[in-house]
Amino acid sequence: MQFKGRDIVSIKDFSREEIDYILKTAASMEQIAKQGSDMLHGKILATLFFEPSTRTRLSFESAMNKLGGTAIGFAEPKVAAIKKGENLADTIRVVENYADVMVLRHPLEGAARLAAEFAKVPVINAGSGAEEHPTQALLDLYTILKEKGTIDGLNITLMGDLRYGRTVHSLAYALSLYNVKLFLVSPELLRMRREVSDAIKQKITVVEASAVEDVLAETDVLYVTRIQEERFPDPTEYTKVSGTYKIDLKTLKDAKEDMIIMHPLPRVDEIDHEVDNTPHARYFQQVWNGIVTRTALLALILGAKK
Amino acid sequence: MSETTLRVSKIRDGTVIDHITAGHALEVLKILGITDHVKSVVTVGMNVPSKTLGLKDMVKIEGRELKSEEVDRIALLSPHASINIIRNYNVVDKQLVRLPKVIRETVKCANPMCVSNSKEPVKSTFYVDNEEPLRLRCHYCGYIMEKQDIHKQF
């Protein structure tokens, strides 16, 4: 399986076998992610974040440092050239000279695809508008596998902003490669984006519901997302759906004992803090799994792992 | 002599686009880049009676043989159109339009957040996921465009 030099633009570019291989590699990187290594000594990662980010950027930078490499980049688009009006294609063709791999977050959909077409070095999509966030999907799959021992055979509920939430788009595409039953729970206005639901319905059983209580008793993994306020074209639409769903102890009374709750973070108010102390909560473990998965991806893409 | 040819004069050399879905002739001209700056004779027939379609539009372009990649774009509007190449008043080639698998530049992505609608140096590119009903998928953002998204661009 060839990963060296490969872009990670969309999770749709990967087969089930390739994803399984990445997850297997991630499992083998747990110890390295803890202790550190020099397997990417001399390699440089550039983080190009045209949108604000805390965890994804830090996660990539931390992963690169753990492997002995170096991270450079910018965290907001106020940097000189972009503020002066430089387009993305030019920025990419400049930055590729400084780095061995690039991580890009951009507000426009398709930005990572465009960047990958212009770049001579591999491009990793760290969020392209409301479209996709493939490395989040990979760390989510890794979390499910680590916690449940399998992905096949599970009933998985994606809940929240399924329209603008890029993490659920990538995760839904990825899960459609496995033998899972998918419940989609959201307010009417935030239903799953059509191109995603059309594609996944061709591969797996998908059930749409408006209340999580209707599907909770069957759920093995509950994946909750925040409403992506910043992506609403009309702010009045946001006020219509804000605060319309929340997971708290009362909601969880019918949940399976071993059901796990995941969240890509940051959360606002969709998971009550009292849930953090229940055996269901896994969202802070996801953060660590993000480091592990990204060390695996960087090692594979830069050829340090085969 | 058929009713159609009585209404529209014959051309000596050029292209006849026949069986255009009624009401789409002017959009077909737009797709082909035939505007008021074109010097050649262009004859447009609209709502012409047709045995197979009921009503149809047709376009005759004197002195220009359309290339296949040009005529294939017509299928975006009129999937049943036929193309006749005329030389010395005779039909020397006749073919039905067919959508190419990839469509470049002809239409823009209907997703306002797509990077192909920004100032980047790229051409809009779509994959034909389905011909009937028409579904085009944007190469960049993956947005699915349907007939109404496409037609309102012409």
- Read off the tokens for A48: 């190009």
Tokens of B25: 């002739």
- pTM exceeds 0.80: yes
Of B115, B137, B144, the CB nearest to A108: B115
Q: What ipTM was estimated for this complex? A: 0.92
Chain A interface residues (partner B, CB cutoff 8 A): 10, 12, 87-89, 106-111, 113-114, 117, 128-131, 194-195, 198
Least Cα distance to A20 among A3, A37, A7 occurs for A3
Give tens-digit pLDDT for A6-55. Answer: 999 999 999 999 999 999 999 999 999 999 999 999 999 999 999 988 89
Rounded-to-integer distance, Cα B54 and Cα B50, Å: 5
Q: Hey, where are the domains in chain B?
A: 3-96, 102-151
Q: Residue A233: what residue type?
A: P
Cβ atoms of B138 and A131 within 8 Å: the answer is no
Q: Which residues of A have a catalytic role annotated?
A: 55-56, 84, 105, 133
Distance CA B22, CA B106 (A): 21
Max Cα–Cα distance, chain B, nearest Å: 54
Give me the long-range contacts of A117-121 (CB less than 8 A, separation at least 24). A117/B122, A118/A89, A118/A92, A118/A93, A119/A7, A119/A92, A119/A93, A120/A96, A121/A96
For residue A92, give both structure tokens.
């990419």
pLDDT digits (tens, 9 = 90+) for A99-121: 999 999 999 999 999 999 999 99
Three-class DSSP category at A81? helix
Best of A7, A10, A108 to disrupt the B interface by mutation (most B CBs within 10 Å)?
A: A108
| Pick among B108, B119, B141, B143 to test the A interface (most A CBs inside 10 A) | B141
- CATH number for A11-132+290-301: choose from 3.40.190.10, 3.90.1520.10, 2.60.40.1930, 3.40.50.1370: 3.40.50.1370
Mean pLDDT of chain A: 95
- In chain A, residues with a C-beta closer than 8 Å to the C-beta of B116 are 110, 114
CATH class in words for B3-96: alpha beta
Domain parsing of chain A, residue ranges: 11-132+290-301, 134-287
Reply yes or no on domain B102-151 having CATH 2.40.480.10. Answer: no
Instruction: Give pLDDT, residue A75.
Output: 86
Q: Which CATH superfamily is domain A134-287 in?
A: Aspartate/ornithine carbamoyltransferase (3.40.50.1370)
- A81 — pLDDT class (breaks 50, 70, 90): low
Which of A88, A130, A131 is nearest residue B120 as measured by Cβ atoms?
Answer: A88
Contact list, B138 vs chain A (CB under 8 Å): 110
On chain B, the residues whose CB falls within 8 A of the CB of A198 are: 144
pLDDT digits (tens, 9 = 90+) for A229-262: 888 888 888 888 888 889 999 999 999 999 999 9
The arrangement of strands across the sheet holding A181-185 comes to A205-209, A181-185, A155-159, A221-224, A260-262
Task: Please check whether the two domains, A11-132+290-301 and A134-287, share a CATH topology.
Answer: yes
Query: Which chain B residues touch A113 with a CB distance below 8 Å?
Result: 115, 139-141
Q: H helices within A38-178, ranges in order?
A: 55-66, 80-83, 88-95, 111-118, 134-148, 166-175
* B83 contacts B58 by C-beta, under 8 angstroms: no
